[in-house]
Chains A and B, each alone.
Chain A
Amino acid sequence: MEQQTGTFTVKKGLAQMLKGGVIMDVVTPEHAKIAEDAGACAVMALERVPADIRAQGGVARMSDPDLIRKIMDSVSIPVMAKCRIGHFVEAQILESLGVDYIDESEVLTPADEEHHILKHNFKVPFVCGCRNLGEALRRVGEGAAMIRTKGEAGTGDVVEAVRHARTVMGEIRRLTTMADEELMRYAKEIGAPYELVKETKELGRMPVVNFAAGGVATPADAALMMQLGVDGVFVGSGIFKSGDPARRAAAIVKAVTHYNDPAILAEVSMNLGEPMVGRNISQMPESEKIAGRGW
């Protein structure tokens, strides 16, 4: 009996195992352990959380493979790592390390301003960001096995995450009411592959798992995203830029499981210490926003 690896089913399948969970950004093996003990379903290994990338500026690249490997050795849960948009060699390096998922991420400085990585060429699965359904389905067309709405990373302001999740969910709802003969025109309008538009209509949801990301800082933020219909939540700077990371991490995990139970949400939101300071997006110059990276 032959065993097939690297199929789209097993790539998509790992994302399905992450559903209802929280994926946390970590910059050291110690952080990774805190995240695992708090109940994270996976960690994202990187050198700097998005808030620090923002603060420090410069070119943001793939993290040192040695750091990623140390984080992989420190926990039993899946480990993800980021490569730059279009930087397929960084992706090859991450694949050779054996990371469980690659995030082709707008948080890093793009390496290609026209093309994303052809993700079908890899055995390791990819997650990509989106702001709307067209962008999501273009990424799935390139081989992404998981999608996350972008939000605005490193701000602690959930407003963009909400905007992107509402946009995607609203577009899917409208798509499900369209006549079949309207789908080709709609596919053209949103710049998405026709077959994936058709599949999305038939499923009534995104054809791959869809998490929220970019600005989640509190248990209530996480539950808000879940109630808006995403499958799980990425938390970047929100945990390790807060006053009590272990406590906040555990609270956000509980909030994602019990996202529909306000009494439990109240309970887990108590006495968490200082949240990350955050930056109000409405006062941020356009040039500092990163969600626009990706094509």
Chain B
Amino acid sequence: MKIGVLAIQGDFAEHIVLLRRLEVETCEVRLPDQLDGLNGLIIPGGESTTIGKLAVDFALLEPLRQFGKTHAIWGTCAGAIFLSKDASRNQPLLGLMDITVARNAFGRQVASFEADLEIAALQQDGSSPAPYHAIFIRAPIIEAVHGTAEVLSALPDGRIVAARQGHLLATSFHPELTDDDRFHRYFLSLSK
């Protein structure tokens, strides 16, 4: 099992630390040929406009779209925006997931927050049923899921913060900023 982490910009190093702790082989991906031989890819948090622009400049959009047709991809925050079909704004997107997202949906940085979430999907693999402590940084929300995309978690007010569509996964929050590796293990289960 080898999982790549898109290393254009953002907190890719934090994902790599968690993957290594789970004894998963991992590498940074900056150019298309670095996707070869990977079982899955994580698109980290960062600025979605920066990641999108550089993905265009270095001809990564099409290779990433092809990769996502047959392989697992997980986007956290900016990564979730990049995976979506619609970000309510004109910027480069992979358009792989049938989700509509709204950027900076909670406001500016002073509104960034931590909260506990109920995530039933994490409990099915036998892991502990404890709440998942999630960190939201200038976070997007998933306004709607369409087609075969399904909601994995929502805030008490109903706003969607995690979604899955087959082997594709999107979270508004940042499991890589915590010591809780349940979400990474869940993603590995999709990457087989």
Taking Cβ atoms with an 8 Å cutoff, the residues of A that contact B are 1-7, 9-10, 13-14, 16-21, 36-42, 72, 76-78, 95, 98-101, 123-125, 250, 253-254, 256-258, 261
Give complex CA distance A3, B78 in Å: 21
Residue of B nearest to A125 (CB): B109
B99 at the interface (CB under 8 A from A): no
Give complex CA distance A256, B9 in Å: 9
Q: Which of B12, B53, B138 contacts A39 (CB 8 A)?
A: B53
**Interface mask (B52-70 → A, CB under 8 Å = 1, otherwise 0):** 0110010000000000000
Which of the candidate stretches B110-118, B121-129, B141-149, B182-190 sits at the interface with the other chain? B110-118
B135 A10 Cβ-Cβ under 8 A: yes
Give complex CA distance A9, B174 in Å: 11
Q: What is the CB-to-nearest-CB distance from B82 to chain A, in angstroms, rounded to a whole number? A: 13
B177 A16 Cβ-Cβ under 8 A: yes
A41 B138 Cβ-Cβ under 8 A: no
Give complex CA distance A56, B135 in Å: 44
Taking Cβ atoms with an 8 Å cutoff, the residues of B that contact A are 7-14, 30, 45-47, 49-50, 53-54, 57, 77-78, 89, 103-104, 107-117, 131, 135-138, 155-156, 174, 177
Residue of B nearest to A42 (CB): B47
Residue of B nearest to A20 (CB): B9
Please indicate the chain A residues that have their CB under 8 angstroms from the CB of B45 in the complex. 16-17
A36 B11 Cβ-Cβ under 8 A: no
A5 B54 Cβ-Cβ under 8 A: no
Residue of B nearest to A100 (CB): B109
A257 B47 Cβ-Cβ under 8 A: no
Q: What is the CB-to-nearest-CB distance from B136 to chain A, in angstroms, rounded to a whole number? A: 8
- Could you name 14 residue pairs across A and B whose Cβ atoms are closer than 8 Å? A1-B115, A7-B114, A9-B177, A10-B109, A13-B112, A14-B109, A17-B77, A18-B47, A19-B10, A20-B46, A40-B50, A98-B110, A99-B109, A100-B109
A19 B46 Cβ-Cβ under 8 A: yes
Q: Given that A2-B115, A39-B49, A39-B54 are known contacts, is A14 also in contact with B137, CB under 8 Å in the complex?
A: yes
Give complex CA distance A13, B108 in Å: 13
Give complex CA distance A78, B49 in Å: 11
A100 B8 Cβ-Cβ under 8 A: no
A100 B138 Cβ-Cβ under 8 A: yes
Q: Which 3 pairs across A and B sit closest by C-beta, in order of nearness?
A: A100-B109, A10-B112, A3-B113
Give the interface centre of B57, B137, B177 by most chain A CB atoms within 10 Å: B137
Please indicate the chain B residues that have their CB under 8 angstroms from the CB of A72 in the complex. 108
B114 A9 Cβ-Cβ under 8 A: yes
Residue of B nearest to A77 (CB): B47
B110 A6 Cβ-Cβ under 8 A: yes
Please indicate the chain A residues that have their CB under 8 angstroms from the CB of B9 in the complex. 19-21, 39, 41, 256-257
Please indicate the chain A residues that have their CB under 8 angstroms from the CB of B50 in the complex. 21, 39-41, 77, 253
B46 A78 Cβ-Cβ under 8 A: no
A20 B10 Cβ-Cβ under 8 A: yes
Give complex CA distance A13, B174 in Å: 9
Please indicate the chain B residues that have their CB under 8 angstroms from the CB of A95 in the complex. 110
Give complex CA distance A40, B77 in Å: 17
